[in-house]
Chains A and B, each alone.
Chain A
């Protein structure tokens, strides 16, 4: 399968010192759904902005659908679709008018435009609201309209930047159903950024986990989970627990034991059978237990495995966020974008 997206040594530095994206390389095959997973400020949107010619790179090279992103931005924009995090539809126009405008901007043949607009309005359950001003739309309707605008020209590669941000679980499920159906129908490549683990797990053919501007792991969801090495039993002692780590390590089936903030993470093929043994071992050494939990392999575990910290979907602003924000404010004060 030929590559739809190729990124080599892509970097972006803000303010000359804050590396938002740090020399990342990856390839996305045609027709694949490829997810960039990471917390806020990890570098997901910066990467997507570079791949869509919205942002110039500090270093590196990128090709999308055979086009050099940084040398052929105009041609690129005709072949890709882009769905932003926030609603970008014109609120003073109706849903239909927004789609007609997008059709003109993206060179959808004039004779095909009414048919294409009607098809998308129907397909995305917006037909009944087509003549309403967008300012009266609900959050879910705006997201669907955003998607319709992004695919009005049947792009070969679709970029989705946190497309379900702010949607309720039902809205998110509905949105992804549409994306999967569209992918099946048209075979387009989808590159998405998300900080929802369940979305990345359920939607993507392959995932790259990005943290602090670097790709720390990549593979299919199941490959990544396999790298964790089975179930993880977490044992939280209520106080000091001398000798417990070594005793846990000696239990049959245990592949590794790591300690973080006084909590033991014990990896093993079958967590359910290990728990009674682990509890008995801790008790025999006189260690009280504040809690024991079992986690099946998940992307949370993958993230923890590769970054050394818990994944939090609501992580606050990072150094990169602050640097980007400061750069924008400084640009605004200087009177430029």
Chain B
């Protein structure tokens, strides 16, 4: 009971801090929204295909669907990718907060209390993983809205069931748990904010660029497809795309990709727990 109370109190603290720092939320959303508003709009090459006099509408649609794994246009394909990518940008701050808590002494105070390393890590993980789910739905809402204001927007072509909606939430949640664990372990082991942000930048972009969030799958070289198939962002994005555009072009059902994500999340959670325990143990 006391452990539950500690978790609840520490999670409440994280959520209160988050609510009082709208700049952090805005920054988390900035990159995915910029991608949607600029990259997604400017790069929507499906309009080029539609302008081609050499392809019939049926051929155009087939070509697009083959390249975009069933998505009706590139923006829709890309928007699903950005919804998944929010889990990466929004969890980045959970690790940064640990470093600032070290600098301001707050972590020292918590570590000197009876709260265990698991309590301290767990509460941050819970708060840090719930936030991206909410933000992902904001990005999803924006992507849907853009289609109604004269811009390219997300067109959901499949009927999303309750189970499908749960799969979508679960995929973002598992991706958030994985990246929150990663960034928390960095936060607990790195002392200097500059080093942390340098490492995070070195992780963020390669993760995005080796995933299927950006590129049309059909145009990716085979070697990149092989790498992307194991990228957790790809796994989450595939679950989203299966539910938004149907599963005709996918080798496995959504739950298989969810299992892959679960494995990633468990692996990263385990590593992060060990590193956090080590970081919070009395110094030798």
Contact = CB atoms under 8 A, between A and B. Distances in A.
B148 interface: no
Contact of A93 (B13, B105, B278, B279): B13
A106 B189 contact: no
B50 interface: no
Contact of A104 (B5, B16, B17, B189): B5
B85 to A, nearest CB: 26
Nearest to B13: A101
A324 B239 CA distance: 51
B106 A102 contact: no
Contacts of B110: 105
Contact of A82 (B12, B16, B112, B116): B112
Given A92-B21, A107-B114, A336 B278 contact: yes
B155 interface: no
A139 B6 CA distance: 28
Contacts, number: 93
Interface in B95-154: 104-106, 108-116
B17 A93 contact: yes
B13 A73 contact: no
B143 to A, nearest CB: 32
A328 B13 CA distance: 28
A308 interface: no
Contacts of A52: 112
A77 B112 contact: yes
Interface string B1-34: 0100110111011001100110000000000000
Contacts of B10: 101, 104-105
A110 B5 contact: yes
Contacts of A74: 114, 116
A74 B119 CA distance: 13
Interface in A105-133: 105-107, 110, 133
Contacts of B115: 105
A56 B279 contact: no
A97 B13 CA distance: 8
Contacts of B12: 101
A221 to B, nearest CB: 29
A102 B110 CA distance: 8
Contacts of B6: 104-105
Contact of A88 (B106, B114, B280): B106
Interface in A31-73: 52-56, 70, 73
Contacts of A336: 189, 278-279
Interface in B265-284: 278-280, 282-284
Given A101-B13, A107-B2, A54 B283 contact: yes
Interface residues of B, number: 35
Contacts of A73: 282
Contact of B16 (A84, A92, A105): A92
Contact of A100 (B9, B105, B189): B9
B108 A90 contact: no
Chief secondary structure at chain A's binding surface: loop
Given A55-B282, A105-B9, A337-B279, A77 B20 contact: no
B15 to A, nearest CB: 11
A107 B106 CA distance: 18
A307 interface: no
A110 to B, nearest CB: 7
A89 interface: yes
Contacts of B8: 104
B190 interface: yes
A116 to B, nearest CB: 15
Contacts of A335: 189-191
A337 B191 contact: yes
A336 B192 CA distance: 11
Given A73-B282, A105-B113, A90 B106 contact: yes
A240 to B, nearest CB: 53
A21 to B, nearest CB: 14
Nearest to B189: A335
A148 to B, nearest CB: 12
Contact of B109 (A55, A84, A332): A84
Interface in A280-337: 328, 331-332, 335-337
Given A105-B110, A332-B192, A86 B105 contact: yes
A267 B192 CA distance: 53
Contacts of A332: 190-192
Contacts of A70: 282
Given A74-B114, A77-B114, A104-B9, A89 B109 contact: yes
A139 B282 CA distance: 29
A60 B231 CA distance: 50
Nearest to A86: B105
Interface string B67-80: 00000000000000
7 contacts: A54-B112, A77-B113, A84-B109, A104-B8, A105-B10, A106-B114, A336-B189
Given A90-B13, A133-B20, A337-B188, 18 more contacts: A55-B283, A70-B282, A78-B114, A84-B112, A90-B17, A97-B16, A101-B12, A101-B13, A104-B6, A104-B10, A105-B6, A105-B9, A105-B10, A106-B114, A107-B2, A332-B192, A336-B279, A337-B279
Interface of B: 2, 5-6, 8-10, 12-13, 16-17, 20-21, 104-106, 108-116, 188-192, 278-280, 282-284
Interface of A: 52-56, 70, 73-74, 77-78, 82, 84, 86-93, 97, 100-102, 104-107, 110, 133, 149, 328, 331-332, 335-337
The 9 closest A-B pairs by CB, nearest first: A104-B9, A332-B191, A88-B109, A88-B105, A105-B113, A77-B114, A92-B17, A56-B284, A335-B189
